[in-house]
């Protein structure tokens, strides 16, 4: 009874406390015969221009934080969605490892000193570092928990808002991990059970809220608002309620249905609740068949890219599918990518 009361209080607090965040949802579906799909929505108060990029192996990168930065060479190619062409915010690499960046107002990153002993990585490259270097969630967890660098954040260009995000990853085995910086410390949640992530509160508290709602049958009542806590509960219920199938067409339609159910209609916003933001785009990554799907809410067509039709070899060209002006594509669109100079990641 005491735990139930605490969960109710926690739920109430999460619904009433004002938190200036942007809302997103991420959910992972695991079906029979290795069927794994990861979906996410990108919710933002303003337009957030997005493009798709094909990034081959062998690209040399730095952490973009000055002299005291990490450096690496991409081991795996990837398809990513960029935001403003300054950061990778979503994507999948050629091994089926998927990464998603979501807003987390409670994030507090470790202190970075440009002349210190610990190297830094600009937050715009956090996701790309993972996609470039790892094939599985376990590999990424093993490396990142060593904290060979700190994530360095900064103001979002053209705004007065400091970027505060957390990172989720999943792989074709259905494994999951969530990375958060809380009070300057890296906190890692690693389990195949962590299928859902939204925004505030921190992930540990999201799990506690969901535990309370598990005692209430979803066929009778589910929380219906656009708030992060409610979206977490709905996503958790529906991702387990949809059919368990290895029919890719059926699974894909079901997963798109879940992420759309957790989305916010375009034009919905609240000046007193900036955590309620319109969904701008959605992605679904098919990690078994290596297909990346993208849906822009301002365009009625879903576009997708089959990795088997892409060239990830070292020295292959970087390619871009421009979507930021609501260009009209439909279906498999690998041939519509154009050779383009790589975008520059935002740094210090």
Would you please indicate which residues are annotated as catalytic (active-site) residues?
A: 24
Give Cα 275 distance to the centre of its chain.
17
Residue 163 CA to residue 89 CA, distance in Å, equals 12
List CB contacts of 322: < 8 A, sequence separation 6 or more. 51, 338
Torsional sign, CA 144, 63, 172, 238: positive
Cis preceding linkage at 201, omega within 30: yes
Residue 34 CA to residue 124 CA, distance in Å, equals 31
Residue 134 CA to residue 137 CA, distance in Å, equals 8
Q: Which two tokens stand for residue 7?
A: 């969960």
Q: Which two tokens stand for residue 115?
A: 């002349």
Instruction: Give how far Cα 316 sits from Cα of 130, 132, 309, 319, Å.
Output: 20, 15, 13, 9
């Amino acid at each position: 009874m005491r735990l139930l009361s605490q969960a109710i209080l926690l739920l109430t607090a999460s619904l009433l406390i004002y938190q200036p965040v942007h809302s997103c949802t991420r959910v992972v579906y695991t079906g029979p015969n290795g069927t794994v799909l990861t979906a996410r929505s990108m919710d933002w108060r303003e337009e957030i221009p997005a493009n798709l990029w094909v990034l081959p192996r062998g690209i040399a990168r730095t952490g973009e934080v000055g002299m005291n930065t990490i450096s690496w060479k991409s081991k795996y190619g990837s398809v990513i969605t960029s935001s403003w062409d300054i950061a990778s915010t979503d994507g999948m690499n050629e091994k089926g490892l998927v990464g998603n960046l979501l807003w987390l107002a409670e994030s507090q990153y470790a202190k970075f000193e440009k002349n210190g002993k610990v190297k830094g990585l600009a937050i715009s490259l956090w996701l790309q570092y993972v996609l470039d270097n790892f094939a599985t969630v376990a590999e990424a967890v093993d490396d990142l928990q060593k904290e060979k660098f700190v994530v360095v954040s900064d103001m979002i260009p053209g705004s007065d808002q400091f970027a505060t995000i957390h990172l989720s990853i999943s792989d074709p085995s259905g494994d999951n991990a969530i990375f958060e910086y809380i009070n300057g410390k890296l906190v890692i949640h690693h389990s195949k059970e962590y299928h859902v992530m939204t925004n505030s509160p921190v992930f540990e508290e999201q799990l506690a809220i969901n535990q309370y709602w598990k005692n209430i049958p979803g066929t009778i009542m589910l929380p219906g608002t656009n708030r992060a806590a409610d979206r977490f509960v709905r996503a958790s219920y529906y991702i387990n309620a949809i059919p368990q199938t290895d029919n890719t067409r059926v699974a894909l339609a079901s997963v798109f249905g879940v992420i759309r159910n957790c989305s916010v209609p375009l034009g919905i916003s609240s000046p007193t609740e900036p955590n309620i933001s319109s969904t701008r785009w959605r992605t679904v990554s098919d990690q078994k068949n290596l297909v990346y799907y993208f849906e822009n809410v301002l365009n009625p067509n879903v576009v997708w890219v089959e990795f088997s039709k892409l060239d990830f070899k070292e020295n292959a060209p970087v390619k871009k599918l421009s979507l930021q002006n609501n260009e009209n594509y439909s279906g498999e669109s690998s041939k519509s990518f154009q050779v383009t100079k790589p975008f520059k990641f935002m740094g210090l």
